[in-house]
Structure 1
């Protein structure tokens, strides 16, 4: 969770005496006044009661309880939840530095004000009864149109309804999706309905206590290749300024009615568009285990696969239905250790060919396969879950990106492949081999999806855009269909996705990637960690001298500045370090390249993989030492 610094933040110290004690008392009094003012302006009774209870706790006679409550309030009121290119994301609690109805109401008011101001305001008069704006003919230009979607997390539907009410009161033409649906459906709807903007209420793969607010611009608000994509600068700052100027939440006008609920035709149109990607020549002989990880993608993915002719689809029952508590996983992110263990166990028991795992809003797609090399690697492992012991492993996002990139590139005669700067360099080689261009972008699909001429884009964090003309964002559902069909065709040839990866290694060299990350509870440690690395970067990576150290905050390769550092070693190994944009983490993206002969045998490719894996382990150790973090 990120926040702006507040000029009136509290920094009292318990146990102070004399003048310090007086200052501390004033700080507590000031904090109390700000909390009470927030309560008075908060339209949500639950949030008001929550803060009132915490205020009562700071009067506790138990010093430990009292100080814990004070620290809680200081954090909640240390600033405002910051609106950026990722929209809003944070823990659902009361206060300005949290996700709650008051914050959502002001965010919606700010976004509405931006759209009205930037697209032109019609002749309008307010309806004081319903908070509506009545239009007078001629109505030109048309009212800004916005689509609102939501997932199944706690409060998502409430936040979506609040947004629709605020947008309607501001005079926007508002379409609310009819139920909790995947993020790609909202991204599709923005373009399909020619909307000027879209809002998706979701925290994607964050922990259960979080929620978020993604903003897309399209229609007349953004034209060209970025139409229908998530916002980038300067739009985030322009919208943030309008949010800052919005009145207190209790004063934000809200309509009681006036928005429309989308019918089933929007979802049907999305399903038809994804279904059109299906290859009619595929054998349809594949057994698939699917998990939505308690999110909203299960029914949609199941429908897409069955409509494409795949009937042997097993939806993991414990995780099939939306559940905002995400009870079977520690973190609802397929990348997190253990998240797909249940799916792997079912796959082994059922003798499945493939595992597909989506994150809770289904914009990401993970793929797991049975790999004889993994079976060998885990042969001496007496612990762990059934899947890995039997040779199942999840493909890295770069591996799936390479497979999809090769698939799309083989079908295209023109266009461009794009990937983020932290993703593998393999996609660039694939593009060149097919006579296509390649672009590296800053991290995030808001950058990848707006590249001119895009025919395929991906980022290593399991995000893939296989049909940019339809969905200008990552889409875990369409990616799942293409991966299923690729595995299906390979199976008919007596081959697997692992064999296809070996083919790419023979053609372009073995590119092996991994990630090292550290999660922080003290957010101040993130910039300190980055500064420590800038000051004292490692001199070598796995014994190979570092020959290039680039501070990405200076802006490189024609890209805007971003907080990060790139290290390249003499043997071609590369490390990029950056803070996560959505989680309290510092991430290190590692890549090694090992030459492989074009006619290399399976054993020779296997040996190259072992060599690459050894280098990655050594680089992990080097970076852990440089950053002062645990390599776990």
Structure 2
């Protein structure tokens, strides 16, 4: 197989004495027996996406390993000293259940310590939202968490947080990436000063649990809490270290844990994918719920920032809520509580993202408070909190099963969101309803919104090229109609333009650029195309709407979704 000379040049750098013998031997085996794997390992450098840097573990520039993460950490160390020249910077580090996470966290800690940076390192796995909390709690300038969220077992990743507790956003992201890219591997300092590495555990755990219980509780009476039957699964991830504890602190006594999935395990042996967006991931929890007559099922992803929720529908059958539905319920519930406590005065806002349901804005408008919309990823919601300190942040979410309650954590947080979901369910049960009937009531008030997501996997270099071609075709040959409804507006976030087809005008989008294209049709449908920033996928998001009192609204909208899928030819 022919290998590009530029790739061979990259390979040869990794065969120099700076790199350890095990790395060099592995590369030689790839050269001899797997040239295609060699090319995929070296054809590019891993990049930061919507959720930090994620990739397959292995050797090479396009893999997660001690050298690529060491280079990241050395670049961040250099940047920290430039930004905080008159103090010793402090960094908090956490990691999840994935293979090599603990060892890679030690490497990252060593590099920081070698650069005279104080390191606070969790001695065992912890939820990602606890890292965000720890950054502010310990007055750190930066935070790192080793995680690949819900990606397959062969992946790991590296998320970077700044001193406000939120993930990197402009201008820090571009400045840090430039610092990292300018570094040769040989400048990484791997031998750290052990005196600068301090283990953190109980003190931060207790503070985070207390804050989560406070921020996720909403005056549910004790008897309602005790009457709610909860089934919880951590899907072999980090949430087992915190969610049961927080639920107990909040007064929930009937919590059944899926024991087969309670042990942290980077192989995720009982699921095809540890992603609560996938219905199959909750299968064991749903079976336990039926056995025990539970009211609600909650499952979280490996690093505990996303949650899936299932509740009983109007026929008593367990039904999984999608991320948009959960977000709508949480937002409406929070605003209702704020209003009943006379805390709403038009100085508040809720937030979501451009590919999520428009229903959140409809609800915000009804409560007469602000609504802000950003690119995909909670770093943009955290940035809103930072950019508008004069406003109170109530809550925010996105379609990918994440929610953020208040701003004590500046990232999606399945710990507090799990408690919030239980508070909602307990209060609904006390009134004789469920979260399903609550959602039905909201649809009766605001109209029915229905969303669907299709993810098309395209792995490796070839897959990346195919995704780029698909996006290019969607831009150069735009649809004029979708599923029989005329396209009336096209938003292109790569060029920051919005084109109104009806009056042939083009305006500028006031939002950072991103590789996202959104079509709006005459019947109120919204279709977005977006390459994933963390996985080898292109995603198509669909949202359709039916006005209040539309007969058989759900069935009508399901047919519309299916027509759109057929039109896109990716169903």
Same structural fold, with TM-score higher than 0.5 when normalized by the shorter chain: yes
Secondary structure of 2:394 counterpart: strand
1:48 is matched with which residue: 9, 18, 24? 24
Structure 2 distance, partners of 1:612, 1:517, is 20
CA deviations 1:87-132 (Å, max 9, x no partner) are 3210000111100011111111011001111211xxxxxxxxxxxx
Secondary structure of 2:280 counterpart: coil
- The equivalent of 1:588 in structure 2 is 540
Q: 2:485 aligned with 1:544, yes or no? A: yes
- The equivalent of 1:257 in structure 2 is 194
Structure 2 distance, partners of 1:609, 1:312, is 33
Q: 2:155 aligned with 1:191, yes or no? A: no
Structure 1 distance, partners of 2:379, 2:433, is 36
2:418 is matched with which residue: 480, 489, 492? 480
2:337 is matched with which residue: 390, 395, 411? 411
Contact (CA 8 Å) 2:279, 2:320: kept in 1 or not?
Answer: no
Secondary structure of 1:276 counterpart: helix
Root-mean-square deviation (CA), in Å?
1.9
CA deviations 1:228-266 (Å, max 9, x no partner) are 210112322211222123342585242151211114110
Q: 2:292 aligned with 1:292, yes or no? A: no
- The equivalent of 1:109 in structure 2 is 74
Residue 188 of structure 1: CA displacement? 0.5
- The equivalent of 2:401 in structure 1 is 462
Structure 1 distance, partners of 2:54, 2:154, is 11
Structure 2 distance, partners of 1:41, 1:291, is 46
- The equivalent of 1:499 in structure 2 is 437
Contact (CA 8 Å) 2:313, 2:437: kept in 1 or not?
Answer: no
- The equivalent of 2:297 in structure 1 is 355
Structure 1 distance, partners of 2:276, 2:22, is 33
Aligned ranges 1:120-131 → 2 under 5 Å = 120=85
Count of residue pairs the alignment pairs up: 539
Residue 168 of structure 1: CA displacement? 1.1
Structure 1 distance, partners of 2:466, 2:375, is 23
Q: 2:93 aligned with 1:118, yes or no? A: no
Structure 1 distance, partners of 2:291, 2:371, is 41
Contact (CA 8 Å) 2:116, 2:193: kept in 1 or not?
Answer: no
Q: 2:90 aligned with 1:145, yes or no? A: yes
Aligned ranges 1:197-596 → 2 under 5 Å = 197-218=142-163, 227-249=164-186, 252-258=189-195, 259-277=197-215, 278-282=217-221, 283-284=224-225, 285-372=227-314, 391-412=317-338, 413=344, 414-451=347-384, 452=388, 453=391, 454-468=393-407, 470-521=408-459, 522-555=463-496, 556-596=508-548
CA deviations 1:124-182 (Å, max 9, x no partner) are xxxxxxxxxxxxxxxxx221111111111111111111111111111112111221000
Q: 1:203 to 1:443 in 2, by over 3 A?
A: same
Contact (CA 8 Å) 2:41, 2:60: kept in 1 or not?
Answer: yes
Contact (CA 8 Å) 1:197, 1:217: kept in 2 or not?
Answer: yes
Structure 2 distance, partners of 1:406, 1:539, is 35
Q: 1:489 to 1:249 in 2, by over 3 A?
A: farther
Contact (CA 8 Å) 1:105, 1:249: kept in 2 or not?
Answer: no
Q: 2:105 aligned with 1:160, yes or no? A: yes
Contact (CA 8 Å) 2:352, 2:360: kept in 1 or not?
Answer: yes
Contact (CA 8 Å) 1:538, 1:623: kept in 2 or not?
Answer: no
Structure 2 distance, partners of 1:88, 1:73, is 20
Q: 1:31 to 1:485 in 2, by over 3 A?
A: closer
Q: 2:122 aligned with 1:177, yes or no? A: yes
Q: Which one has the largest radius of gyration?
A: 1
Contact (CA 8 Å) 2:297, 2:311: kept in 1 or not?
Answer: yes
Q: 1:41 to 1:295 in 2, by over 3 A?
A: farther
Structure 1 distance, partners of 2:22, 2:430, is 57
Structure 2 distance, partners of 1:95, 1:582, is 18
- The equivalent of 2:341 in structure 1 is none
CA deviations 1:426-452 (Å, max 9, x no partner) are 111111111211011111111012212
After superposing the two structures, state which structure 1 stretch, 360-369 or 250-259, moved more: 250-259
Instruction: Work out which structure has the larger RCO, using CA pairs closer than 8 Å and 6 or more positions apart in sequence.
Output: 2
CA deviations 1:348-385 (Å, max 9, x no partner) are 12211110010000001110112246x8xxxxxxxxxx
Unaligned segments of structure 1, at least 5 residues = 1-11, 14-23, 59-65, 121-140, 219-226, 376-390
Structure 1 distance, partners of 2:566, 2:263, is 40
Secondary structure of 1:252 counterpart: coil
- The equivalent of 1:123 in structure 2 is none
Structure 2 distance, partners of 1:467, 1:83, is 26
1:95 is matched with which residue: 60, 63, 87? 60
After superposing the two structures, state which structure 1 stretch, 537-546 or 515-524, moved more: 537-546
- The equivalent of 2:499 in structure 1 is none
Structure 1 distance, partners of 2:83, 2:47, is 22
2:41 is matched with which residue: 60, 71, 76? 76
Contact (CA 8 Å) 2:394, 2:406: kept in 1 or not?
Answer: yes
Secondary structure of 2:291 counterpart: helix
Secondary structure of 1:427 counterpart: helix
Residue 85 of structure 1: CA displacement? 5.6
Secondary structure of 1:428 counterpart: helix
Structure 1 distance, partners of 2:483, 2:49, is 37
Contact (CA 8 Å) 1:152, 1:322: kept in 2 or not?
Answer: yes
After superposing the two structures, state which structure 1 stretch, 39-48 or 85-94, moved more: 39-48
Structure 2 distance, partners of 1:347, 1:520, is 36
Residue 39 of structure 1: CA displacement? 3.6
Contact (CA 8 Å) 1:151, 1:182: kept in 2 or not?
Answer: yes
